[in-house]
A and B are shown apart, each in its own frame.
Chain A
Amino acid sequence: MIDPRRIIMVAALLGAVGIWLLLPRGKVRGRLLGLALGAVGLGLLASQMPGLGDWVAQSLFAVLAAVTVVSAAAAITLRNPVYCAIWFGMSLLGTAGLLLFQGAQFLAVATVVVYAGAILVIFLFLLMLAEPGGRAPYDRVTWEGLVSAFAGAFIAGILSMTVTSVLAPRAGSIELSQWEPVEPPVAVTDQQRQQGILADNHMQQIGGALFDGRQPTREGQSPKPGYLIAVEVAGVLLLAALVGAAVIVGRGRQALSGPRVEPAGSPSPGGPPDE
């Protein structure tokens, strides 16, 4: 059988070329080819992934992963930055789905709320502010597209190769039926519930783990620590970021009374518009 690592390498290369073709390079040619190549690469890579045993799980995971990856690819290759932002939001939803798949409900929702709801919105605000007229010239070109594509593909490929070669039990394809089903996350036993370890409400789990280190453990695992101080620090960080952002923009405004490069066509406040 062909070494799966070779196949992954080929997949990565194909994906790189595909992404490169997809990147905005001034002319619209080649996007279809890029799309095809990217799909082929993705398919090759996916063929080397070990299956999850249960075809429901497998297909669910495949859909979610596909949504995530395709949206991400779209987010970086489209010309209109607003579209990029929108597709990034889609990718976020895919990520949230994957997190849900792992049983991290709180995180999934937090991702959607914070990322898609806050950060993405700020992105869109800025984009609207900056170029409401449409496409700027610098959005139509890339800087060193080929090198970037190969660099990114190299990273993804290396990681994938390593991971697959380490974690896949043996070379070659694995029959789905030979896989054992995934164990569900550790459920809280009645004994542990009586000891005060919380039920498998994910938010409560996270909260308990954060503050006390109360986590359901299997036999033989050592008790886990809490992360209280980190929470406090994160709070301070948030405060600092808040204040900092306000100051930066405020100071930046004050500095605008000095010399400033006006883009062509914009009116100076209070003066006649210059053509």
Chain B
Amino acid sequence: MNNGELALLNDYLVVGAILFGLGVIGFLSRRNMIVMFLAVEMMLQGVSLSLVAWGRFYNDLAGQILVLFIIAVAACEAAIALALILVLFYRRGTLDVIAWQDLREADQPPYAEEEFPEGPEEVPPRWPSLTPAGRPPETPRPQTDYRPHV
């Protein structure tokens, strides 16, 4: 075995492991469903790197071919997952994964946060102001933040 090959493999595997680990952390600790899914995709990236490195090491293109398949499958999975997340969002109106606790045991109390930490203050946007001329423009009906339909 060539030292260089070993070193290359080693480096790639470590990077892949780090990506995978970061994906795990993201999946476990975030509560936004989309960010959780993002972390899953990150894990897939780490695995892809590892696979390509192994394929290079053994001089077998199977590693890269598997990564190709991973990309295809990840695409399918993303489609379905995001469709499901959309439907779930319509149900509860939130992307919070904690909102879905219905599968708990019968006499377990639901997990509820006492209070959320405050976010940064909403800075009202400063719009450029024009010198008033003529009639004030008709402002359309205020847009609500929440659009029920896409």
Contact = CB atoms under 8 A, between A and B. Distances in A.
A9 interface: no
Do most interface residues of chain A lie in helix, strand or loop, or is the interface mixed?
helix
Nearest to B87: A252
A235 B124 CA distance: 49
Contacts of B29: 23, 76, 142-145, 148-149
A141 B15 contact: no
B17 A155 contact: yes
Contacts of B150: 129
Interface of A: 19, 23, 26-27, 45, 49-53, 61, 65, 68-69, 72-73, 75-76, 81, 84-85, 88, 91-92, 95, 98-99, 102-104, 106-107, 110-111, 114-115, 118-119, 122-123, 126-127, 129-145, 147-149, 151-157, 159-160, 163-164, 167-169, 178-183, 185-186, 205-206, 209-210, 215, 217-218, 221, 224, 227, 230, 234, 237-238, 240-242, 244-246, 248-249, 251-253, 256, 260-263, 265-267, 269, 273
25 contacts: A19-B25, A50-B11, A95-B45, A98-B12, A98-B15, A102-B52, A107-B52, A123-B34, A135-B119, A138-B32, A138-B116, A144-B29, A153-B25, A155-B17, A156-B18, A160-B14, A167-B10, A182-B2, A209-B65, A224-B62, A242-B79, A249-B86, A249-B87, A263-B93, A265-B146
Interface of B: 2-15, 17-26, 28-32, 34-35, 37-39, 41-42, 45, 48-49, 52-53, 56, 59-62, 64-65, 67-69, 71-80, 82-87, 89-96, 98, 113, 116-117, 119-120, 122, 144-150
